[in-house]
C-alpha cells in the first residue's frame, strides 16, 4: 500500500471513496528491486503497468555498437510501462533498470485498463496520468527543438535537480541527446563562467 498522506491525496484529488482506491490496489502486487536490478529486459513481451512507490527507473536501449542510450527516466509517484509492448504489441526494444532500491506496484496492463473503464470515476485518474505523461514528452520535444545541449542541461538541472543528482552523468548525457564527453565539457564551460549560467537561467 501507499503511505497515508499519498492515499489521502489521491482520494481527494480524484474524488474517490477509500473502497474504490482499495479495489484498484487489489489488482496490483508489490515488487521490490535492488539497485542495478533489471525489471524488464529487451525482448520482453510482458504487458505490465507499474506505479513507482519509491525509487528511480531508467529505460535504455542497447545500440549495435554496444553502447547504451538512456531514453527515459521514471521516478516515485509516476506510472510506466514497457510502452512498445503495451501500445504496439511488440517485444520491448528497451530495458528497464532500477537505478536505486525501488518499490513498484505492478499490475497487468489490460486487466487494469479494463477495470478503470468499468468505473467512470477512475477515468479522471486515467486521463490525468496519460495527460501528465503527454505533457512531459511535449516538454522534452520542445527542449530538443528550442534549446542547444548546454541549455537543455541547464533546464534539466533547474527543473529536476534531484533527478540529475540521483543519476550518473553518463546517463544524463544520453538522455539529453549528447555524449558523456560532451556533457563533461559543458559542465566545465559552465564552471569556468558562472555568469553564463545565471544569464541562461533567466
3 phi, psi to nearest 5 deg: -65, 155
Residue 111, C-alpha cell as written in the block? 486487466
DSSP letter, residue 178: S
Enumerate the β-bridge partners of residue 73. 58
Question: Which of the listed partners (DNA, its own copies, none) does 123 bind, with a CB threshold of 5 to 8 Å by partner kind?
Answer: its own copies
Give the single-character DSSP code of 66: S
Q: How far is the CB of 55 from DNA (least distance, A)?
A: 16
Minimum CB separation of residue 30 from DNA in Å reads 26
Nearest to DNA of 44, 179 (CB atom) = 179
Per CB under 8 A, contacts with its own copies among 9-48 are none
Which of 40/150 has CB closer to DNA? 150
| Residue 117 makes contact with its own copies by CB under 8 A | yes
DSSP states of 81-95:
E-HHHHHH----SSE
The answer to whether residues 23 and 124 touch, using CB atoms and an 8 Å cutoff, is no
Site residues (CB under 8 A) for its own copies?
61, 63, 69-72, 83, 87-88, 113, 117, 120, 123-124, 126-127, 130-131, 133-135, 137-138, 140-142, 144-146, 174-177
Amino acid at each position: 500500500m501507499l503511505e497515508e498522506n499519498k492515499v489521502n491525496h489521491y482520494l481527494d484529488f480524484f474524488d474517490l471513496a477509500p473502497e474504490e482506491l482499495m479495489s484498484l490496489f487489489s489488482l496490483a502486487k508489490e515488487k521490490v528491486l535492488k539497485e542495478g536490478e533489471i525489471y524488464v529486459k529487451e525482448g520482453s513481451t510482458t504487458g505490465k503497468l507499474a506505479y513507482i512507490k519509491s525509487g528511480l527507473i531508467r529505460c535504455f536501449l542497447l545500440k549495435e555498437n554496444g553502447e547504451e542510450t538512456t531514453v527515459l527516466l521514471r521516478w516515485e509517484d509516476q506510472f510506466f510501462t514497457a510502452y512498445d509492448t503495451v501500445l504496439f504489441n511488440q517485444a520491448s526494444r528497451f530495458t528497464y533498470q532500477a537505478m536505486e532500491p525501488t518499490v513498484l506496484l505492478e499490475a497487468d496492463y489490460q486487466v487494469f485498463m479494463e477495470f478503470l473503464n468499468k468505473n467512470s470515476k477512475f477515468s479522471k485518474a486515467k486521463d490525468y496520468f496519460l495527460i501528465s505523461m503527454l505533457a512531459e514528452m511535449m516538454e522534452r520535444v520542445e527542449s530538443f527543438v528550442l534549446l542547444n545541449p548546454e541549455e537543455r542541461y541547464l533546464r534539466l538541472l533547474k527543473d529536476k535537480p534531484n533527478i540529475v543528482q540521483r543519476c550518473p552523468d553518463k546517463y544524463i548525457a544520453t538522455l539529453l541527446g549528447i555524449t558523456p564527453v560532451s556533457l563533461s565539457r559543458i559542465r566545465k564551460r559552465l564552471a569556468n563562467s558562472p555568469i553564463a549560467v545565471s544569464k541562461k537561467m533567466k
